[in-house]
Amino acid sequence: MRIRMVGHASVILYTPAGGILCDPWLKGKAFNESWSLRPDPSFDDSLYDGIDYIWISHEHPDHFSVATLRDLDAAFKERVTVLFQQKNSTKLFDAMRRWGYKNFQSLPDRAAIELPGGVTISCYQIGFLDSLLAVADGEHIVFNLNDTDVTVRDLASLRRQFGKPDVVLNQFSIAGFDGYKDAPKALAASARSKLGDMLAAHRSLGAKCTIPFASFVYFSSIDNKFINTHANSIRDVVEAFEAEGLETQVLYPGDEWIPGTARDSGPAIDRLQCAFETTGSAHFDTPAKISIGELEAAFNNFYNSLRQYYPKFLLKRIGKLRWRLADANAVVATDFTQGRFYVDSLDGGADIDVYSQPLHFGLSTPFGFETLAVSVRFHVQENRRRWRFLKAISILYNQGVYLRPRYLLSGTTLGYIAERLCNNLIGQILLKRQQRQAMN
């Protein structure tokens, strides 16, 4: 197997079955114009002929890039096979069909799928959204963990099914934040935790080598640029692994490597470190200002959609949240108990500080509040639990997991939820709790 770094979370795994292009994001920004690629990816037309599969890990826009996938070569889209985890919805495949893709293969959770040339792949579903990919070609074993929150049970299952990997591809820096008050302390803990997770995965799997990736970005709006000072650099990763006597291989976009062969990572480390250290001179966007009337209309549509799919008692758990608009000198309230949006008093503080545009995005798109958490364009001052519950409901809504009885009791929804629960969703919940405790 040969591995080519494209950029961020995108690599090409060249196998006897053909090349597998993972999570291509080649242009544009992600998460409501909140993340930008740094350094730029490396991809040109000469690479199309060597790619036979595209694997999408999940629907986050730094992995499922609409601008990228829509604009790839037309003949390539007709020939390539799209691989994606089996879900309760075909919306990803439906969208790609509209863009000209013809061939699709749904990957059941943890099933061994045989490709030509003696290649075996397996897609592990993690939580309700994410997935990882294992690839074995008879010579090498590669686990692409991308940015999954894998549990000890997941890692043990991978190792039992495939054996010790030659290579683990793993995210190395911060990819979101819940916006709590003591941001510097929490972000420093989050960055440390990410390095600890990388080391733990490497050791648990008995990996020969880890390739750090999926963090070749910077937070590129004026309201989230502060995150960049807390991010892990590539040197932080290499030094952490060296301190444990563990091996890394660092690839700059365009670099290729055959596992097990000698290669000097020094030039790639230097170039990536330079990109990291000069982030302050990069471009940062100022969000557009959204009117109070537009925010109210977006809330009304969002609330009515939630009422259609979720019992009212769940919306009461969200309750009322007060949002201080940083660009409007105003506080607005979203009351999910009564379905009301209104301008509130400036007195008494607010639950969440945010610019009007990110709040509008949260209210106007199914994935908006999950995006708000990943883009880190807000600060929670009070009522963390209400904010968390709003985000949780919006994630279920985006995934098509509806909890009103007429939807919940459908065979498709029940089967999907049961499958996800069996695949260690409880472990994911415990993992998230441990991560929050570590940051508090």
**CB neighbour burial string for 279-308, b if at least 16 within 10 angstroms, e if fewer:** beeeebbebeebeeeebbebbeebbeebee
Contact 33, 218 (CB under 8 A): no
In CATH, 292-403 is 1.10.10.10: no
Query: Residue 84 is encoded by which pair of tokens?
Result: 């994606």
* Sequence-separated (6 or more) residues with CB below 8 Å from residue 105: 81, 82, 83, 84, 113
Q: What is the pLDDT of residue 348?
A: 83
Q: What is the pLDDT of residue 435?
A: 45
Q: What is the pLDDT of residue 238?
A: 98
Centroid of chain to Cα 80: 24
pLDDT averaged over the chain?
Answer: 93
Closest CA to 397 of 323, 315, 310: 310
Centroid of chain to Cα 334: 27
Q: What is the pLDDT of residue 92?
A: 96
**For the chain, which ranges sit under pLDDT 50?**
428-432, 434-440
Q: What is the pLDDT of residue 239?
A: 98
DSSP conformation letters of 11-68: EEEEETTEEEEES---SS-BTTTTEEESS-----GGGGGGEEEEEE--SSTTTS-HHH
CA 435/CA 433 separation, integer angstroms = 5
DSSP-assigned beta bridge partners for residue 125: 131
Domain 2-281 and domain 292-403 have a common topology: no
Contact 24, 71 (CB under 8 A): no
**CB neighbour burial string for 392-409, b if at least 16 within 10 angstroms, e if fewer:** bbbbbbbbbbbeeeebee
Query: CB count, 10 Å around CB of 141?
Result: 24
C-alpha distances out from residue 347 to 21, 93, 320, 324, 332, Å: 53, 49, 16, 11, 12
Alpha-helical segments (H) within 102-255: 152-162, 183-205, 234-243
**Phi/psi at 269 (nearest 5 deg)?**
-60, -45
DSSP-assigned beta bridge partners for residue 53: 20, 81
Closest CA to 221 of 77, 433, 34: 34
Q: What is the pLDDT of residue 430?
A: 46
Q: What is the CATH number of domain 2-281?
A: 3.60.15.10
The per-residue pLDDT for range 377-420, each reduced to its tens digit, is 999 999 999 999 999 999 999 988 899 888 876 655 555 555 55
* Sequence-separated (6 or more) residues with CB below 8 Å from residue 123: 55, 83, 85, 107, 108, 109, 110, 111, 113, 131, 132, 133, 134
Structural domain spans, the chain? 2-281, 292-403
Query: How does DSSP classify residue 424?
Result: I
By DSSP bridging, strand 10-15 and strand 18-22 are antiparallel
∠ Cα 19 24 27 (to 5°): 140
Closest CA to 376 of 171, 130, 172, 190: 190
∠ Cα 53 212 269 (to 5°): 120
End-to-end CA distance of the chain: 42
